[in-house]
Every structure is written in C-alpha cells, then in structure tokens.
Amino acid sequence: MSHPKPDHAIKTGQAAAALYALWQQTKRCTGLAPAIRPADRAEGYAVQAAFAQLHPSAVVGWKIAATSAEGQRHIGVDGPLAGRLFADRVLQSGAAVPLTGNLMRVAEIEFAFRFKHALLPRAEAYPVDEVMAAVGSVHPSIEVPDSRYDDFVTAGAPQLIADSACANLFVAGPPAHAWAGFDFIAQAIQVRLNGEATDAGYGRNVLGDPRVALTWLVNTLSALDVVCETDQLVTTGTCRVPLTVKPGDHVAADFGVLGRVSCRFV
C-alpha cells in the first residue's frame, strides 16, 4: 500500500523540526528521511527559514559556506551556500568556545561585514560597490561550524542548506570602520595556533575576494525575497584551509589594520 507524500509546507515543517531537535540536543543523523528531504536548493532554503521560526533566538546575520573551489569539492557542491547566524551562537573575541558534541572541530578564519543600512530584494542584481556602500564595519572573525549530519561531505547542497550551511558558533572581532586601501585579495592574514605561526589566510581564497562573496550573499537573499537587515553581520567564508582544533587550543588571527580576533577551545 502506497502512502501519499506530504505536501510542500508539511514536508518543510517536518524537515525543520527534525533538524531543530538535533540542533537542541547536539546530535546528528545519517540524513533527513527521504519523504521530507529537500530536493533542491530552493527547498533547502525553505527548510532553513522554517528552522529559524522554531528557534527563539534572533537571526543576527548570515554565513557563507563553500566559498573556495577546494571547499566545494570537499562537500560535493556546485557553489556557495548561505546559512543563518543566531544571536545565541555569536561570541566575542577572546571567548572560550565549547567543542562538546562538535563533529567538525575546525576553526575558520573569515572576513565579516556588518550592514549600516538594509538592502532590499529587487529584480536587478546588486553590484559590489553598492553592497560595500551599505557596509558600516568590517570584523576579523573565526567561525566554528558543525553539522547535523554524520557524513556532511556526502549530504548534498539541499540538505546542507536546510542545516543552515553548517552554522554553529561564530566569534566576532572588534569593528574596523576604515578599510579604504586595504587589500582584501592579497593581504596576508597571520594565523597562530597555540602561539605558533601557521599558513596565512588570503581573501583571494573567498570567491576571489570576500567583497564578491558578500555580494553573492546579498543577491542570493534578494532572489529569495529576504532582506539584508541593518546591523546584520555576514561572515564570508574561510580564507585558509580550516584549522583542526581540540580542547585547550588557542587560535588567533591578525588582519593588519582591520584588527585581531582570538578564541580558546574548551
């Protein structure tokens, strides 16, 4: 006997509820049940939006995953993914970052941008210059992602998007309000793990330029009829290979005139 498939709204709600239960319990699954699994990116973003409605903490910004060719190959996707950042998951530089239950256990060194005014959905694509004119501050940052899937590298783009593109914890550095002349592409970002220098990061690893990644995010949300709100923060993707971390480790990144950010893992 065959069973009717749930309609789109019910399917979306059930997928969001399943992921939200895993989020609350710091648990994982092999994948969403086939009957409620998003079939494409649009369905993935619908589940993500429904997930946000379940979480009492406010959406304070966005993250972008898979902004390098290597990152896209690693998780088997054909382009970047956008995810929501929640207020209760944002920490300040110097914070102790818990790794309990974290499957991925990596730190990602990222450029983040905060909007000083909103960018509304529209038919015409936003150019980089217009997006940057809406930016009020740039923040050195560290993202600490995680997944609600046991094997996130084979989950596929729709499921990863539903899971807010592996959003978890985010460490925001202090704001820089002057960035004219800063080389977002070639300036080396000095990174230290437990005081020892590691490979530097570069903005060119983030879709060629983190400002381009930010513009991708704005236009992706515009196509979904989602506003980039005033004061929202967007972290644009790792500018070097993610650092593997364990409890007790300390990570620091020096973005030159844009400032520094650090955290320790517990």
pLDDT tens, position by position, 62-98: 999 999 888 888 888 989 999 999 999 999 999 999 9
- If you search the block for the tokens 């993610």, which residue do you land on? 242
At residue 73, the pLDDT reads: 87
- Nearest alpha carbon to residue 109 among 266, 263, 265: 263
For position 1, what pLDDT does the model report? 40
Burial zone of 22 (CB within 10 Å; 0-12 exposed, 13-18 middle, 19+ buried): middle
pLDDT value of residue 168: 96
User: Which pLDDT value is given to residue 70?
Assistant: 83
pLDDT digits (tens, 9 = 90+) for 196-234: 999 999 999 999 999 999 999 999 999 999 999 999 999
Report the 10 Å Cβ neighbour count for 102: 18
**Tell me, what's the pLDDT at 123?**
98
Residue with tokens 């399917």: 11
Tell me the C-alpha distance between 54 and 72, whole Å.
29
Instruction: Report pLDDT for 81.
Output: 97
**Residue 31 has what pLDDT?**
96
Query: The pTM is what?
Result: 0.95
* DSSP H helical ranges for 76-231: 128-133, 157-162, 210-223
Report residues of the chain scoring pLDDT below 70.
1-6
Domains of the chain with bracketed CATH: 60-265 (3.90.850.10)
